[in-house]
Amino acid sequence: MIVHIKKIIALANKGGFAVGAFNTSNLEVTLGIIRGAVKRKSPIIIQISESTIKYAGLKNIIELINQLASTDGKSIPIAVHLDHGKDFELVKDCVRAGISSVHMDASDFPYEINIAKTKKAVAFAHKFGAYCQAELGAMIGKEGMTKIVVPKNADDYMTNPAQVKDFVRRTGVDTLAVSVGTLHGHFEGKEKIDLPRVRKIQQQIPNTPLVLHGASGSVASEVRASIKSGIRIINIDTDLRIAFTKTLRSTIKTLPANFYDPRKVLGPSIDAVSSMVEEKINIFGSGK
């Protein structure tokens, strides 16, 4: 069932776990996400991006999530979130559409401009009772990528712990996405979570839930350690894309050329997404 994200965050804080924030783009991925979470009896956040909105339409994708949450997902708490909203007008559209959390991502801008843009989005979201997430520090990479060159100096792009208290105080943001070594995409061996940095950030803003973006290529033990250090929401997109697409390719290879039932073609990919969500929930500690 659909709930406000604050209820899910409260559960994570009380239980000392992280909630998975899983990106969707269509019916099949959404079904996989919800079915996996239901199997593990876990609260989840379902995220939509600007590209998903362009692909499926804002009203369409929200109605799809809401409907599936009231049927397949009626036994678990589900919140809906806008991921990486760069356009303030789209952020406003999402808030007006009724989702309980939006991400105003102005991290590409200098610090003071980031504050100004975030503060504006926070004020608008709060007027409608929605939460607003911001981002401090740069997330390297892009969802779906598997090859990347990582900057040598971490301080050039990771979140500066000395800035977070000022940033949160001046913006009034509800959750904060931090850059601590994860990357957008899936890069095994290149992603190492800077746990001391996570702890320093959490010590500065102990009452602000921290969000870990780009966790698809991270080692499970490091993810678990980051949760103990204060991470409460973990974003997963690329791993779901890989699970869905790899399975789809394999399925098609097994079918005769004259086979035309898309339900049976896509069914195994839904199951693959579901299994991936279960795997992540086991790492995050949010299941029962």
Closest CA to 42 of 66, 24, 15: 15
For 96-247, strand residue ranges (E) read 101-104, 131-136, 175-178, 210-212, 231-236
Burial (Cβ within 10 Å: 0-12, 13-18, ≥19) of residue 85: buried
Burial (Cβ within 10 Å: 0-12, 13-18, ≥19) of residue 256: exposed
**Integer Cα distance of 222 and 35 in angstroms:** 26
Whether 105 is catalytic is no
**Residue 120 is inside which H or E element, if any?**
helix 111-127
Find the catalytic residue in 83, 174, 237, 239: 83
**Integer Cα distance of 23 and 134 in angstroms:** 17
Catalytic residues: 83
